[in-house]
Chain A
Amino acid sequence: MSMLASLDVVVTDVVTVNSLIKRFHFARADGSPLPAFSGGAHIVIEMQDGDTIRRTPYSLMSSPLNTQDYQVSIRRDDEGRGGSLFMHNKVTKGMSMKIGYPANLFSLDKRAPKHLMFAGGIGITPFLAQIHQLIKTNGNFELHYSARNEELGAYSEELKQLLGHRLHVYYDDQDQRIDFDALLSSQPTGTHVYVCGPAPMIEHVIQRSAAHGWPDAHVHFEHFAKAPPGEAFTVELQTSNKKIEVGENQSMLEAMEAAGVDAPYLCRGGACGQCETNVLECDGNLQHEDHWLEDDERASGKKVMPCVSRFKGSRLVLDR
């Protein structure tokens, strides 16, 4: 929701964590405290990249109680549309930026007697914030963290210091694997499981927990889709009475915003459902990239999530 209030911040530090990951620190531009937040929350960072404005969600990794310093860790993605490259190559200490208020689609269930966490690679970041929160509230948890190798296992040393036996680290190159079945069949009643990492890992945890009889409500995942680049296409917006061009490295949502159309969003990653838009006419193929729509909704051709999905064909008219 572009008319929503956002936060003016300055970049107070940029730290190289390893060959792929950089960490960015933000403070409020006027020096006042940033809002507290809940572990698992993300912020949408606004990037002025030439004449395009990109807005990309990143999980907050700093302690939710730290209102002086927001931190995000961003992995460089050479194939993406350029959000992470912009952050890696163009953002420097002292720069002024705009971010959205924290929003949480990966919240801890505060009723849980135990939290079982699975992190893969850069998927560690939301857990870092959650762990601070759980330590403060004496929560019961264990974290299983797998990374390609020691070098890419960001923050594993700090976590070892902080967590002791509650942390289990697995490195692919040393043939270490999380034993999901053993873990999912031995948890006390009421446990909640959380997974954030590469899509196959998320799918695996969803599938195995179902097989062991876990109710969906106890299985949480942070499933941000990336808006992929693709061929440019044209969209007609009926309510706004506009015809817009979606560029190769632009999402439909970004193109709407660039045209001054106020379109709702929350996650910008195909996960929250807020941007759901009715398709009025479609002569061609919708390329759904979200995790929100049900199969029958996709099959109907009547709905699309413009934050991540694209279109190939001759004519697309949206109710926006």
Chain B
Amino acid sequence: MSQPDDSAILSRPRYGTLSPVEANFHVFVADDSGGETILSLAQSLPDDFFNNAEIIYVNTDSENNQSVIDGLEALGCPRLYIGPSIAAALPRLRTSLDRMRMGTQVYLSGSESLLGMATMTAMEAGLDHQALQTEHRGSLARRVQCVHCKGITENVTTQPADCDHCGLLLFVRDHYSRRAAAFQGVNINAEDPSDVPAKEEIYS
């Protein structure tokens, strides 16, 4: 019975800053530079905090992430997973969440793809979006769902952008679906396909 808050007004996701809250269990999911968020948070958390926590870290850039990995290992969290890609980490996240009790808080930090796909997984597991916190780190690249063929194109950095699946040139709208973890792409030159606007790099 609370009033809807203004921050929910647009469908576009808004990312914040992670800040641990009272909860029975804490799950951290991060990719690449998102791991640094966990490390900096850890400095102000009690030593035994990670006894009731799980960390899932996606490392797509081993050369640059070694110090982050060392740091995460030093936290002494009994449940630490380090995987090579978001896709590889999601089944692990889902299994963990399925076994949890109410009162679990999930903290996500990293790329838009990680935030979107981990959010989708957590919601499928029955978590409320209020039990999720997100912090954006690293690439601004978007996941875009083509409204025409429904295919999802990863790592979109331009406006407009090509659909990887049907090839239509898509205008990336600021309209975001948490269920699809993607922005909506609509053909930009449907009225006149010979009019091909130039692509601009805006999400990198």
Question: CB distance B3 to A184 under 8 Å?
Answer: no
Interface residue count on the B side (C-beta < 8 Å): 23
A187 vs B2: C-alpha distance when bound (angstroms) = 24
Question: CB distance B102 to A188 under 8 Å?
Answer: yes
Interface size, A (range): 20 to 34
| CB of B165 to closest CB in A, whole Å | 31
> Which residues does chain B contribute within 8 Å of A211, judged by CB atoms?
22
CB within 8 Å: A-B pair count: 66
Contact of B101 among A187, A216, A272 (CB under 8 A): A187
B interface majority secondary structure: loop
| CB of A167 to closest CB in B, whole Å | 21
| CB of A123 to closest CB in B, whole Å | 16
Question: CB distance B127 to A189 under 8 Å?
Answer: yes
Question: A213-B22, A215-B128 in contact; A185/B1 too (CB < 8 A)?
Answer: no
Question: CB distance A217 to B24 under 8 Å?
Answer: no
Contact of B105 among A190, A213, A294 (CB under 8 A): A213
Question: CB distance B101 to A218 under 8 Å?
Answer: no
A272 vs B3: C-alpha distance when bound (angstroms) = 10
Is A35 an interface residue, CB under 8 A from the partner? no
Mask, B8-28, CB within 8 Å of A = 1, is 000000000000011111000
Question: CB distance B24 to A213 under 8 Å?
Answer: yes
Question: CB distance A189 to B98 under 8 Å?
Answer: yes
Question: A189-B125, A189-B126, A190-B127 in contact; A214/B102 too (CB < 8 A)?
Answer: yes
Is B30 an interface residue, CB under 8 A from the partner? no
Question: CB distance A186 to B101 under 8 Å?
Answer: yes
Taking A190-B125, A273-B3 as given, write out 10 further A-B residue pairs in contact, using a Cβ cutoff of 8 Å, ordered by the A residue number: A111-B126, A189-B100, A189-B101, A189-B104, A212-B23, A212-B24, A212-B103, A213-B131, A218-B128, A291-B1
Give me the interface of B with A, judged by CB distance under 8 Å.
1-3, 21-25, 97-98, 100-105, 125-131
